[in-house]
Structure 1
Amino acid sequence: MSWSVSTQPLSHDVSSDGAEWSTGICDCCQDMKQCCFAFWCCPCFACKTTREFGQCLCLPLLDICSCAHPATMSVRLAIRQRYGIRGSLCCDCVHSTFCTACVWCQISTEMKKRTLPTVFSDVFSLG
Structure 2
Amino acid sequence: MYPPKPNEYYPSPGPAMPPPPMGAANQYYPPAPNTLAVTQEPQPWSTGLCDCTDDCGNCCMTCFCPCITFGRIAEIVDQGATSCGTSGALYALLEYFTCCHWIYSCCYRSKMRAQLHLAERPCNDCLVHCCCESCALCQEYRELKNRGFDMTIGWHANMARRGMIVPPVMQGSMMR
TM-score normalised to structure 1 length: 0.69
* Cα deviations by residue, 1:16-74 (Å, 9 ceiling, x for unpaired): x3101111110111110111111111122212322233353325346422437211101
Equivalent in the alignment of 1:45: 69
2:100 corresponds to which residue? 67
Counterpart pick for 2:148 among 71, 96, 115: 115
Aligned residue pairs total 106
Q: Contact (CA 8 Å) 2:77, 2:111: kept in 1 or not? A: no
CA deviations over 1:86-118 (Å, ceiling 9, x no partner): 217x62111101111111111111111223784
5+ unaligned residues in a row in structure 1: which ranges? 1-12, 121-127
- Equivalent residue runs for 1:1-127 within 5 Å: 15=40, 17-54=41-78, 56=82, 57-58=86-87, 59-61=90-92, 63-64=94-95, 65-67=98-100, 69-87=102-120, 91-115=124-148, 118-119=161-162
Q: Which amino acid aligns with 1:32?
A: C
Q: Are the equivalent residues in 2 in contact too, given 1:34–1:105 (CA < 8 A)?
A: yes
SS in structure 1 of the partner of residue 43 of structure 2: coil
Question: As a proportion of its length, which structure holds more helix?
Answer: 1
The structure where strand makes up a greater share of residues is 1
Larger CA Rg, structure 1 vs 2: 2
- The letter of the residue matching 1:79 is M
- In structure 1, how many angstroms separate the alpha carbons of the residues matched to 2:162 and 2:66? 32
Q: Structure 2 regions of 5+ residues with no counterpart? A: 1-37, 150-157, 164-176
Identity %: 25
Q: Whole-Å Cα distance in 1 between the matches of residues 108 and 70 of structure 2?
A: 10
Structure 2 SS opposite 1:51: helix
TM-score of the superposed pair, with normalisation by structure 2? 0.51
- AA matched with 1:35: C
Q: 2:162 & 2:76 partners in 1: Cα distance?
A: 19
Off by >3 Å, runs of 4+ in structure 1: 115-120
- The amino acid that maps onto 1:20 is P
Change (3 A) 1:119 1:40: closer
Q: What root-mean-square deviation, in Å, do the aligned CA atoms of Structure 1 and Structure 2 show?
A: 2.6
> Would you say the 8 A contact 2:45–2:143 is kept in 1?
yes
